[in-house]
Structure 1
Amino acid sequence: MFNPANQAHFSLDIEGADPDFKVLAFTGHEALNQPFRFDLELVSERSRLDLESLLHKPAFLAFTPDGRGVHGQVFGIAVGEIGNRLTHYHLTLVPRLAYLALRHNQRIFQHLSVPQIIGQVLEDHGILADAYAFRLGPKAPPPRDYCTQYDESDLHFISRLCEEEGLHFHFEHQPDGHLLVFGEDASAFPKLGRPVAYLANTGQVADEPVIKRFGLRMEARTLRVTRRDYFFEKPRLLMEAAHPPPDDLPQPDLEDYDYPGRFTDRDRGRRLARQAQERHRRDYRLADGDSDEPRLVSGHLLSLSEHPKPEWNDLWLITALHHEGKQPQVLEEFASLDSAIDTLRNTATQALGLSASQPDGDFKQGYRNHFQAIPWDVPARPDLKHPKPRVLGSQTAVVTGPKGEEIHCDRHGRIKVQFHWDREGQADEHTSCWLRVASSWAGNAYGAIAIPRIGMEVLVTFLEGDPDQPLVTGCLYHGVHQPPYELPANKTRTLLKTDSSPGGGGYNELRIEDRKGQEQIYIHAQRDWDENIEHDQKIRVGNQRHDRVEGSVYSEFLGEQHHTLHKDRKTELKLDDHLTIGNEQHIRIGSNRLVEAGQEIHLKAGQKLVIEAGMELTLQAGGSFIKLDPGGITVSGPLAKLNAGGAPGKGSGLKALGPWLPASAALAMAGNRLNTAQPSALAKRLQEAAELEEEEEEEELEATETGITLRIGLFFDGTGNNLGNSALTAQCQRDDRELYDAQSLGSLVEHCKRYGFKDMSPEGLFETAPDNSYGNAASNVALLHTLYADNATDVIQPDAKAGYVRVYLEGIGTESGSRDNLYSQATGQGSSGVTARVRQSPSAIAEQVTLFLSKNPAVSVARLEFDIFGFSRGAASARHFANEVLKPGGGVLAQVLGPARLGLPADFDWTRDVQINFIGLFDTVAAINAPLKGDFSVNDYNPGVNLYLPAGCARKVLHITARDEKRWQFALNRVFPGHEELALPGVHSNIGGGYRPQQTERLLLTKPEVTLVTPRRPLEHSPAWQRALKEADRLMGRGLPGSGELRPIAWRAAQPKHERGMVPSERWMVAVAMDRTVYGDLSKVALRAMHEAAVKFEVPLKALPAEAAFQLPDDLVPIAEKLLDYARGASNRLTYEEERYLLGRYIHTSAHWVPTAGLLLNKPANHRLAYNQRPQEGYPE
C-alpha cells in the first residue's frame, strides 16, 4: 500500500518558502458546503523561522508521492517545543474561502442572480474567475431584484445564498491550487477514477487501498413540502406551491409548511418547494465507512466494488470526510507523538460530527479516513445552517431619487431610500428596492396617501424581520428638518403642512390649535381650494364671521336662497349694483325706507306703476311740489301747467349686467369596496387544483363573483355591561365639571342621582357609583362595535364587492333603559342569559340586514362572513354563536338567513357560502350555574353552552385573558388547545373594559382574623396584627396601594361571656385594608391588541379615534408599547418598577374580602382556575 515505513510519504510544500518542514502527523476534515481545515504537526531543524512571513502562503499537503493531497493557504502557524535538533510546529491549512468568515459587511445587491452575487463577493477577496466555477444546469437561479447582506460575514452570506437556492459547493485540488466549484445537481461532481474495493477490516494488509468498513442507515424524514407567500401586486392570487411525497414511500404524512415562502410567482414557489423536500430527504439513506484510500475527497463520486451486498456496489457521493495521517519515522526526538495526535484527532472528529471508528492504539502510522456518503442520484441540497439575519426593530433611512426631482415614486406609491449603514449607495434612484409606504388608511381607490419626499428621514421596519423586505412606516424630524412650528412652545398644535413642489416657496396647511382659550382650526391653500359637497352643508358660527375675497365672487344657487338677519345689515358697494329678477320682487319694510341718489332715480314699469301712501304722498323738484294727503291735492310752484304742451323728462334707462357663472370645483372619483380575502379550504391539496396561469386565475375569480359578500359583525357584551345604559350616565363619569355653570351642574347632579351616583368630591367626581350597568363604562366590545364598518343606512357603490352591518347584543343580565336582571347576572341563565343572547341574535341580524337591503334593493348577497367578538359571559355567547354558524344548516340563524331569504340567492349553500373570519374574545368566563342544585361557577360544567371552538373554525381566533384575575368564582374557559391566547396584565375588566375612568377602592385585602386582646397582650402585639403587618409590607413591595393608603385595621368583634376568675379579654377582628384611587385606562391596551390583530385579518374596523374613551394617558404609553410588542410576538417583558407602577395605579383589585349583599362573591384564590377547551357532550366537533 505504501512504501517501506522508513520513507516519508506525507509532505508539505509552501509556495515561496523553504522552512524544511517534515510532516509528523495531520488531521483534517472536509465536507460539502463548508471550508475544509487541516491541522498539521510539523518538525524542522530550523528553530528561528519568521512565522509571520509564512501566514497566508499557498501550500500543498501531499498524501502520496504521485500528487494526491490538499491545497490551501496557511491560516495559522505556531511554534512548539524546541529540542536539541528539531523544533515542533503546528500549522493550519484552509481554503481561501475560509478567509471570508473574517470580513463582515452590510451592503445591497440589485438585479443580480445568486451566482453573480457570489462571484462579486469572491472577487472582492481576490478569488478570481480561474479559482471558482459554476456548474449549473439549464435553469440557473433567476436574478434577485433586491438582496441584502446584513450584519453577516461574507462566508455566512454566500453560504446562506447557496442554501436558499439549493446550490452546493466543494473543492478540487491540484498541487498548484484549488478550485471552488458550485453546482445544483450531480453533474457538478467528478468521479474519483477507478473503483475502490471493499475489504472487511480483518487485520490483513491489502496490496491496494481499500474500503475497510461500509454501513448504511435509514431515518425518518419529512415527506412533503408546502410553501405559501403573498404578493401585493396580485393580492387575490393564492400564492401557494407544494411538492408531493414520493409515491413509493409509506405514511405517516409528514409535512413541512412554511410562510413566507419568499417567492412572487408560482413556478418559483414550486422550485423552492421541490428543493426543500430534496433537502429534507438528502440523508434519508446515509452511508458511512472507513478506508485507507487517500484519493477520497468530499464532493466526489466514489465507485464501490466487491461488496457482498451487490446493490451497494454503485456510485456514492462523499459528503463528509475526516483524514488522519501519521509518519513517526521523521521524528528523532519527541516521545509524546500519540498524545499530540490524539488531541488533533478528537478536535477534528467533533467538529465534523463523525464517530470514532477505532481506538488510536491500533493506528500508529500511515493514513486512514472516515467518510459519509449518499447515493449518487440523490440531490445534495445543503442544510439550512446559515439563517438569514433578522433586523430587530426599526431603522431610519433617507429618501432618495433622481437628481433634480423632489418626489420620486412608482405607481404603487413606493419610494427608494438610502440606509445609514449602506456605504455603497449613491443617494440616487438606485440605492434600494422600491419600498412600500404604510398608510393610515388604504382601500380600493380611496384612503390616505402622503409620499415621503427626497431627503426626508423615514422610519423603516422589515416584514418578518427580513432585511430584503423593508417597509416605510413613517417620517421623522431631525436636527436639520425641524417641525413647522417651534416646540414645545406650540405643542398643542396638530397639523398637516406641505411644501409646493418643485421649488418650494408655497404650502398648503391644515392646523388644529388646542391651547385652552385659543382653540383654532386653520386652513391655508397656496392656490386653489375646491369643495364638493354631495348633499347638505351646515355652518354655525358662534360669534363673528369675517370674509375677505381679494378678487371676484361668483355664486350660483339652483334652488332657493333664504337669509335671516336679526340685527342691522350694513352694505357698501364702491361701484355699481346690478340686480336682475326673473319674475317678481317683494320688499317689506317695517318702518322707513330712505333712498338717496346723487343724480337720478329712474323707475319704469312695463304697464303700470302704482305709488301708494297711507297718509301723504309728495313729489318735489326745483322748488315746486305736489302733495296728496287726506286734505286734498296741493300743487305748488311758480306756474302750474295742465295740458299746456311740453315733454316728459327721460331717465337714463336700464343697463343691468348679468352675473358670470361660477367655475366648477375639481371632481374626484369614488373608491371601490374592498375584496375580502378568501382562505383556502382546510386540508386542500394544491396539486388537486387545475394549474392555471396567474392571469387566468384572476380572471376566473372575477368572473365567479356575481354577488357581494355581506360582512356581519356580532358584538356580545359582558355581564353587567350595556352600551346604552353606559351612554345614559356617561356625563356622570366625566371629570370636567368646571365646564358647567351652576344651573347645568345642578341638573347633572340630579340626573346622576336618579341612576345611583352620589357623594361628589371637591374635584367634581362622584365617589359612589351604582354597582350595575348604569355605573359601568363602555366595554371594549362596545367600543369595537362603534368602530366596525356599517352600511345599514348607506347606499353602497354599484360595483362594491362587499357590504357591512354590525349587531350589538346587550351584556348578560342587562336591558337598555331598564333595571338589571340579577338572576341572569348571577347564573348566566334566564331571559338575558348566555344562550338567550344567541337566540336573540337572528332577529337582531335580520333587522340590520333589512335596513341594508332597503337602501340597496338591487344588491344580491352571494356570501356571508362573520366577525364575532365577546367579553366575559358575552365571550361564552360568542363561542356558542360561532358553533351555530358552524352547523351545516346555520342552526338558529336558519330562521332568517337561508336560500331566498334576506337577499340571499335560491342556491345559497350554508356550508359553501358562509365562513367565520375572526373571533375575538376577552377573558371568557361562562360561569353557568344553579346554586340551588349545587352547581357553582367554579367548575367547567356549563350546561347548554357550547364553548368548544374546533381548529379551522375561523381564519383567526384570539383570546386575551386576565393575568392577574384571582377571584375564586371567576374560572377561565380557555380556547387552548387549538387557538392563540394572550395573557396581559390586569384583572377581568382591565382586559374587557367597563371600569370607570377613576374610582375609589376601600377594600379588605386579607381574610379578617379573630385575635384575643388582654391587658398583658395589647392588640399591636397579637400574632394576627403581626401577620397583618407582614402581609401589608409584602403588598406594598409589589406596588400597592399606589398613592393611597394600605395598613392593618382592627374592629371589635362579638364578645364572649366572661366567667368569674377569668383574665379579662376582648375579641378583635384584624385585616389589611386599602384605600386608594385606581384608574380605568389599562383596558385600552387590550383594546389596542385586539384591534390590531383584527385589522391584520381584515376585520373592517376604523382607526382608534382621538377620544378620551380610546386614548392612553401619557404615563401608560411606554408600558403599553411594550405590552403591544409582546402581543405581536416579541419577548419584551416589563421591568419590576413597571409592574409595580401598573399594580399601584391601573390594575384593579377584583378579589377581596368585602362582602356583597352578605356574600363573599369576590373571595380570592391562590391561583385562578382555568379549564382547557374540549368537545362537549351533545355538541359534535
Structure 2
Amino acid sequence: MAHPDFTLHLANGADDLQVLAFVGHEGVSQPYRFSLELVSPNPDVDFAALLQQPAFLCLDTAQGRGIHGLVQRIEQTACSPALSHYRLDLGPHLLRLALRRNCRIFQERTVPQILETLLDEHGIPADRRGFQLGSHYPARQYCVQYAETDLDFLQRLCAEEGLHYHFEHSTDGHRLVFGDDQTAFPCLGQPAPYVPGSGQACGKPTIQAFSVRLESRTETVALRDHDFLQPRLHLESTAQRGQREDYRYPGGFRDRDRGRQRAQRALEAHRHDVVLAQGESDQPQLASGYFLDLQEHPRRDWNQLWLLTEIQHEGRQPQVLEAYGDAVRDGAIPGYRNRFKATPWDTPFRPQALSRPRLPGVQRAVVCGPVGEEIHCDALGRIKVQFHWDRDGQNDAHSSCWLRVASGWAGDRYGALAVPRVGMSVLVSFLEGDLDQPLVTGCLYHAELPAPYPLPEHKTRSVFRSQSTPGGEGFNEVRIDDRKDAEQIYLHAQRDWEQHIGHDHHLYVGHEQHEHIGANCLLEVQGEEHRLVHQARMTELKADDHLTVGASQHVKVGEGRFVDAGREIHLFAGKKLVIDADQEMSLAAGGSWLKLDPSGVSLSGVQIRLNSGGNAGHGSGAQVLMPVLASVPGTAQPSKSLQAPAQPPASQPEIEAQEARWEEEEAESLEEETEAQEEERVQPEETAEQRITLRIGVFFDGTGNNTANSGLTEQCRRDDQTLLDPDTLQGAIDYCRRFGFDDPDENGVFRRTPDNSYGNAHSNVAELFRLYQDDANRALSAGETSACIKAYLEGIGTTSGDADSLIGQGTGGGTTGVLARVQDSPTHISRQLRDLLRKNPALLVDAVEFDIFGFSRGGAAARHFANEVLKAEKGVLAGLLSPQTAGFAPDFSWNRVRLNFIGLFDTVAALVAPLEGDFSPANDDNPGLNLYLPPDCARKVVHLTARDEKRWNFALNSVAPGHQEIELPGAHSDIGGGYPPLMTERLLIGKPRPVLLYWGRSPEQSKAWQEALAEAEQLELQGLPAGSLRIGTRPLSPSRQRSTASSERHLVLLEVNRQVRGELARVYLQAMHQIATANDVPLEPLDPADTRLAISADLGAIAQKLLAAAQGSALNLSFEEERHLYARYIHLSAHWTPLKGLLINKPAPKGRLVYGNQPRKDHPA
C-alpha cells in the first residue's frame, strides 16, 4: 500500500484509524470544523475514550502542516468483518463554549478581561491563547450575557469591539489568537505562485484559480447616543468615506473617542470585503488568518499580500482501501485541494456585527444593598437589584449596576421621588430592549410583602405609607379613603410635620375642628390677627395667663363683665385711672363701702378718717412673661432638628490661653534654633584633605522645553482625569485654563494645549537630569574618591515661571538663546560645586569629567559647550576650573579635564541672525556656534535622530562622520520627548490645493480633490486611521478671490483629526539610558513601577526591536509594525497648518535637510 498523504494522530495512541477522506472549513473569527471519514480493521473502537481528546490531522507530512483540535463527534457508519468505517468531527477547544448557555453579569470589566474569564472557565490554558491588541478598551460598567451560549457571547463581544481571532496549529496543540488590527495576522512561510489550471506541471503546490470582485457597500457610519450623566453633551460620531450611510441609535458609547472608534470599526466591518478574492489551490499550507503572498499573476497589482479569511478544505486518499481489497467506486479525485476567500492585506478585517439579545418586556428583581442598609442609593437616586435569574449575584451592593428609577415627574430640582428600599420587589425594563441598560419602572407586592392594609377589606383606600429607617417601627402616611359616607384623607407624621406656605393659607371646616397638642403651642403673627366666634367662647387655663399689649387694649363687653380673683386684683396706671359708670359705682372692703350714684356719694364705715395720716395699700404688681417665638420651617430644607448646631465661639479665657501657648512654643523654637547655631559654631573644622575626581553632568534642554514650567502643568497632561471626583476635576480644569489649556473632553483630557513650555511634557534630557547622580547635598565618606554634581540649562526661549521668549524660540538667539545658555553654564555648575563643598569642606578636586546631554537646539548648545571645554583655559569654564577656585587642588591643571560621554537627541541648531544677513533657520549658517565634534573629543558620542522628521525649518546637524549616529522611527520630539501622554492632532496634513468651482459642479470631480484623495489613501497605507482623515473645501478670502458670476475659488484641504500617544519617546529614553550607563555615566536605574516612564503593552515587542537598533543592530520592523507606529505613536510634525500666519512647520520639498559634522572656518578644529 502506498504511504498515505493524510494521517490522524490521536492523543490516546490509537493509530489504527486511517484517513480515507475529509472536508473542513475554517475562517477568521469562526471555529473551524473538519469532518473525517476513517477506516479501521477494528470494529470495536472505544468512542468514550476518544471524545474530547486531542487529535492532529496532518495535511502535509513534509511541511508538518495540519489541523489540531479536539474530537467533537464520532460515529460508526459501516461495519464488516474486514473493515469498519467511522466518521469523526474535529474542532477547536473554543467549541466547548457552545455547550454552555448562561445568564450572568459582568461589571467594570474590559472585553478582553471578559474573554479571559470565559476561556479560563472552560479550561483553555493561558499558553493556548493570546491577545495582540493595539487599542485601548475601556471597562464596561455593566455587561449582560442572557440566554446565550458562551460562544455566542464571545462572538458578539468581539464583533461589538471589532476584535477578530484566528488559530495557529502545531502537532501538539492549537493556539487561539485575538487581535484588533492586521499586525495580529502572520505570513505564510513561502510565496504562492499563480499557475492557472493544474499544478502538476509545476511539480509543486500552486494557486490554480484566482479571481477578484469589487462590490458597492455602505460608505459612512454615523452613530448617536445620549448619556444621562452628561445630558447636554452632543454624542455623535461619524466614519465617512462617501454618501451611503448607516445611521444607528443608540451607538453604544459615552465619549467621543469611543464613538469614533466604534464608528470606524463599524464602517470597516461593512467594507472589509469590498474587494474579495476567491481562488482554488492544492496548497495545504494555506490557513485562515494568515497572509498569502501571491506571485506571478498576470495582473501585477494582484501580486501582493492577501489575508485568507475563509478556506474550504477537501482531501481524499482511496489508496488506504487497497490493503483491504476494496475498490474505489465513487469516482472522487484523490489528493488535496481547497477553495479560499481573501481580502487585501491593507483592508482591516472586522467580524460582522451579531444581534444582541433584546428583551422588549419587563423582568422582576429585588432591591439589594450592603448588609444592614435599608435604603441604598446614589446621588441620582439609583439603586442596585438582584435579578432572579442571576446565580452569581450575592444580593448585596455589587449585584448589579446602578439602576435609574422611573418617576411620574422629574424636573430640575422638582418632581416626585420615592427610592425603592432594600428587599422590595421591583419591575425592571430595558432601554431599547438592551439588557445592559436596565431601569426600574415600578414596585410589586407579593406574599411576603403585603399591602399597607388588608385587602380586599380596605380596597377603597389609596395609601402612600413609608417606614422609619433604620428599624422600621414607625411610619409616615398619606391615606385617601373613598368609602361612601366615610370618605377621609388621613395624614400621619411619625415625628415632625413641617409646612411652608409661601402666601395664603385658607382652611374651611364644615363641622367641628379638634386639635390636641401634647406639649406647647407656639404662634407668631407678624401682621394682624382677626378672630370671629359666633357663639360662646369657653377657654380654660390651668396655670397662669400672661398678656402683653404693646399699645392699647380695647375690650368691649355687650352686657356684663365678671372677674373672680381668688386672692387679689391689682390695677396700675402710669398716669391716670378712670372708672366711669352711668348709674352706680361701689367699692366695698372689710364691712366699709363707698357708693357713687345719682343721689350722691355715700360713705359708710366704723370710722371715717380724712387727712389723718397712714399709707395706701399696695398690690403685687404685674410680672408678665414674654412668649417663646415659633420655629418656622425652611423652604425645602431639613428640619431644625436635622441641622448640625453651630460651633460655639471660644470664650475670652480660652483665646488668651491659646495665645499664651503660641508664645511659649515660639520661645521654645527660638531657643532650639539658637542652641543649634551655637553648636554649629563650636564644631571643629576638618583639616584632612580628600582628593576626588569631580563628575559633572550638564543637561541642555530643547527649544520650548522647561522642566519647571512643565512641572506646574503636569496635572493638565494626565489622560486619567476620570479618576478624579467632579469637584477636583473642575478645579483642575480651571487651574489649567490659566496656562492656556482648553476644550476638555468628557473625560477631562484637553484637546487644545498651549504651544509653549507650559504645554510640553518633560523631555528626555529633563528625565536624564533627574536620574543623574547628585552628591551636592551629601557628606561623602572618607574613602570616596569621586563625587557627582549636575546642572540643568533651561530650554531655548524659556524661563522658569515666566512667559516664553518668541525671539529666543524663533531665532535661537538673545538672552535665552543657544549661546546664552552656554555662557550661563559656569554659574549653574558653580552653584552646585558650592553646595558640595559646604557639605564637604575638606574636598580637593583633582580631576574633572563631563557627561553632556542635549536635545534639539539644546543639542547644539551641548556641542558648543563641549568645544568650550576643549578650549581649556580659553573657554567659558576657565575661571571656574582653576587652582585658584575654592575646592580645587593647588596642582590642578586642564590636562586632567576630559569629556566622558556626549548624548544627543536630534540636534537642530536653526539659528537666525537677521543683523548678520542670516534670515533662514534651514541653512547651515549658525553665526558664533561651533557644532563640530572632533573624532576623539570624548570617550563616546552618540546621536539619536528622527527618521520621520520632515520639516523645512528643522534641518539635522549630524555628528557623522566621526561619531555614532542612529536613525530611529519618530518625529523630532518623539525622539527627544516633550509630547503629552495623549494629544489630539488637528492639522492640515496635505498642501492646500486651489480649485475653481463652478456652480452645480461637485468639488469631488476636480483634479485637486482626486489628488487629495490619492494622498489620503497613501497616508492610510502608511498607517493613519481611515476615519481620522477628511477632505473638504474652504472658500478663499474675498481679497484673494478671482471669482466670476458662475464660479468661486476654493482650497481643497486634507485634514487629520486623531489622537496620538507620546510613549515612543520613553523607548528612546531607555535607549539613551542603556548606552550611557554602558559608558560609565552615573545614572540611577529606571524604575519599572514609575508610570511616567511606562511603555504600553502594544508597543512592547516593537520597543525591543528599537532598543536593539539603538545598540547597533539592524532595525527590522515588519510592515504592520511600521503602520502601527505611524497610526498611534509617530506625530505629524510637518504640516500646513499656519501658526500666527506663518507656515513654520511646512514640510521640506525633498526630505529633511542634513548637514554633516565638519569644522568651520570661524571655529577651526
For normalisation by structure 1, the TM-score amounts to: 0.53
1:607 aligns with 2:575: yes
1:369 aligns with 2:338: yes
1:198 aligns with 2:194: yes
Which of the numbers 281, 300, 314 marks the counterpart of 1:310? 300
For the Cα contact (< 8 Å) 2:386–2:399, is it kept in 1?
Answer: yes
Q: 1:491 to 1:542 in 2, by over 3 A?
A: same
Partner deviation per Cα, 1:121-173 (whole Å, 9 max, x = no partner) = 01100001011111111x23222111111110000001000000000011111
Q: Distance in 2 between matches of 1:367 and 1:54?
A: 26
Partner deviation per Cα, 1:215-269 (whole Å, 9 max, x = no partner) = 0001100011110000111111111111121xxxxx6x10011000010000000
Alignment correspondent of 1:185: 181
Alignment correspondent of 1:694: 745
Amino acid at match of 1:326: R
Q: Distance in 2 between matches of 1:580 and 1:500?
A: 42
For the Cα contact (< 8 Å) 2:199–2:208, is it kept in 1?
Answer: no
| Within-5 A mapping of 1:1090-1101 | none
For the Cα contact (< 8 Å) 2:8–2:15, is it kept in 1?
Answer: no
1:89 aligns with 2:86: yes
1:459 aligns with 2:459: no
Which of the numbers 265, 269, 272 marks the counterpart of 1:282? 272
For the Cα contact (< 8 Å) 1:495–1:511, is it kept in 2?
Answer: yes
Amino acid at match of 1:661: L
Q: Distance in 2 between matches of 1:697 and 1:35?
A: 41
* TM superposition shift of 1:94: 0.9
Q: Distance in 1 between matches of 2:423 and 2:523?
A: 43
For the Cα contact (< 8 Å) 1:19–1:44, is it kept in 2?
Answer: no
Q: Distance in 1 between matches of 2:637 and 2:250?
A: 36
Q: Distance in 2 between matches of 1:231 and 1:277?
A: 23
Alignment correspondent of 2:225: 229
1:533 aligns with 2:501: yes
Q: What is the DSSP-based 3-state SS (H/G/I as helix, E as strand, rest coil) of the residue aligned with 2:301? A: helix
Q: What is the DSSP-based 3-state SS (H/G/I as helix, E as strand, rest coil) of the residue aligned with 1:97? A: helix
Which of the numbers 113, 121, 138 marks the counterpart of 2:118? 121
Q: Distance in 2 between matches of 1:472 and 1:595?
A: 68
Alignment correspondent of 1:631: 599
Q: 1:152 to 1:691 in 2, by over 3 A?
A: farther
* TM superposition shift of 1:403: 2.0
Partner deviation per Cα, 1:79-114 (whole Å, 9 max, x = no partner) = 111123000111111111112111011111111111
| Within-5 A mapping of 1:827-976 | none
* TM superposition shift of 1:504: 2.6
Q: 1:334 to 1:401 in 2, by over 3 A?
A: farther
For the Cα contact (< 8 Å) 2:364–2:426, is it kept in 1?
Answer: yes
1:506 aligns with 2:502: no
Which of the numbers 258, 263, 266 marks the counterpart of 1:268? 258
| Within-5 A mapping of 1:107-506 | 107-137=104-134, 139-201=135-197, 205-245=201-241, 253-332=243-322, 363-384=332-353, 386-506=354-474
* TM superposition shift of 1:692: 4.9
Which of the numbers 52, 55, 66 marks the counterpart of 2:51? 55
Partner deviation per Cα, 1:297-324 (whole Å, 9 max, x = no partner) = 1111111111111111111000001011
**Percent of aligned positions that are identical:** 53
Amino acid at match of 2:60: T
| Within-5 A mapping of 1:743-892 | none
Q: Distance in 2 between matches of 1:632 and 1:151?
A: 113
* TM superposition shift of 1:379: 0.4
Alignment correspondent of 2:25: 29
Q: What is the DSSP-based 3-state SS (H/G/I as helix, E as strand, rest coil) of the residue aligned with 2:140? A: coil
Q: What is the DSSP-based 3-state SS (H/G/I as helix, E as strand, rest coil) of the residue aligned with 1:263? A: coil
Which of the numbers 91, 94, 99 marks the counterpart of 2:96? 99
1:587 aligns with 2:555: yes
1:664 aligns with 2:662: no
Q: 1:486 to 1:135 in 2, by over 3 A?
A: same
Bigger Cα displacement from structure 2, 637-646 vs 206-215: 637-646
Q: Distance in 2 between matches of 1:23 and 1:214?
A: 29
Q: What is the DSSP-based 3-state SS (H/G/I as helix, E as strand, rest coil) of the residue aligned with 2:258? A: helix
Amino acid at match of 1:82: C
Q: What is the DSSP-based 3-state SS (H/G/I as helix, E as strand, rest coil) of the residue aligned with 1:407? A: coil
Amino acid at match of 1:115: P
Partner deviation per Cα, 1:633-671 (whole Å, 9 max, x = no partner) = 33333333344444322211111111111122133379x
Larger Rg: 2
Q: What is the DSSP-based 3-state SS (H/G/I as helix, E as strand, rest coil) of the residue aligned with 1:613? A: coil
Q: Distance in 2 between matches of 1:309 and 1:193?
A: 23
Alignment correspondent of 2:988: none
| Within-5 A mapping of 1:1041-1060 | none
Q: Distance in 2 between matches of 1:331 and 1:633?
A: 159
Q: What is the DSSP-based 3-state SS (H/G/I as helix, E as strand, rest coil) of the residue aligned with 2:308? A: strand
Structure 2 residue ranges without an equivalent (≥5): 639-740, 752-1165
Partner deviation per Cα, 1:977-1018 (whole Å, 9 max, x = no partner) = xxxxxxxxxxxxxxxxxxxxxxxxxxxxxxxxxxxxxxxxxx
For the Cα contact (< 8 Å) 1:304–1:315, is it kept in 2?
Answer: yes
* TM superposition shift of 1:336: 9.1
For the Cα contact (< 8 Å) 2:408–2:416, is it kept in 1?
Answer: yes
Alignment correspondent of 1:7: 3
For the Cα contact (< 8 Å) 1:167–1:184, is it kept in 2?
Answer: yes
* TM superposition shift of 1:699: 13
For the Cα contact (< 8 Å) 1:17–1:54, is it kept in 2?
Answer: no
Alignment correspondent of 1:878: none
Alignment correspondent of 1:570: 538
For the Cα contact (< 8 Å) 2:255–2:746, is it kept in 1?
Answer: no
For normalisation by structure 2, the TM-score amounts to: 0.54
Q: 1:202 to 1:146 in 2, by over 3 A?
A: same
* TM superposition shift of 1:202: 5.3
* TM superposition shift of 1:23: 0.6
Q: Distance in 1 between matches of 2:546 and 2:137?
A: 79
For the Cα contact (< 8 Å) 2:255–2:747, is it kept in 1?
Answer: no
Alignment correspondent of 1:1142: none
Q: Distance in 1 between matches of 2:630 and 2:610?
A: 53
Alignment correspondent of 1:1163: none
Q: What is the DSSP-based 3-state SS (H/G/I as helix, E as strand, rest coil) of the residue aligned with 1:273? A: helix
Alignment correspondent of 1:1150: none
Q: Distance in 1 between matches of 2:223 and 2:11?
A: 50
Q: How many residues align?
A: 647
For the Cα contact (< 8 Å) 1:391–1:466, is it kept in 2?
Answer: yes
Partner deviation per Cα, 1:1111-1170 (whole Å, 9 max, x = no partner) = xxxxxxxxxxxxxxxxxxxxxxxxxxxxxxxxxxxxxxxxxxxxxxxxxxxxxxxxxxxx
For the Cα contact (< 8 Å) 1:236–1:698, is it kept in 2?
Answer: no
Q: Distance in 2 between matches of 1:235 and 1:444?
A: 12
* TM superposition shift of 1:337: 6.4
Q: Distance in 2 between matches of 1:531 and 1:336?
A: 102
Q: What is the DSSP-based 3-state SS (H/G/I as helix, E as strand, rest coil) of the residue aligned with 2:52? A: coil
Alignment correspondent of 2:952: none
Alignment correspondent of 1:1105: none
For the Cα contact (< 8 Å) 2:305–2:344, is it kept in 1?
Answer: yes
Q: Distance in 1 between matches of 2:385 and 2:265?
A: 33
* TM superposition shift of 1:562: 0.3
For the Cα contact (< 8 Å) 1:315–1:375, is it kept in 2?
Answer: yes
Q: What is the DSSP-based 3-state SS (H/G/I as helix, E as strand, rest coil) of the residue aligned with 2:108? A: coil
Alignment correspondent of 1:768: none
For the Cα contact (< 8 Å) 1:111–1:143, is it kept in 2?
Answer: yes
Q: 1:699 to 1:115 in 2, by over 3 A?
A: closer
Q: What is the DSSP-based 3-state SS (H/G/I as helix, E as strand, rest coil) of the residue aligned with 2:512? A: coil
For the Cα contact (< 8 Å) 1:19–1:46, is it kept in 2?
Answer: no
* TM superposition shift of 1:281: 0.7
Alignment correspondent of 1:1080: none
Q: 1:335 to 1:593 in 2, by over 3 A?
A: farther
Bigger Cα displacement from structure 2, 630-639 vs 428-437: 630-639
Partner deviation per Cα, 1:825-868 (whole Å, 9 max, x = no partner) = xxxxxxxxxxxxxxxxxxxxxxxxxxxxxxxxxxxxxxxxxxxx
- RMSD, aligned CA: 2.3
Which of the numbers 37, 43, 46 marks the counterpart of 1:41? 37
* TM superposition shift of 1:696: 11
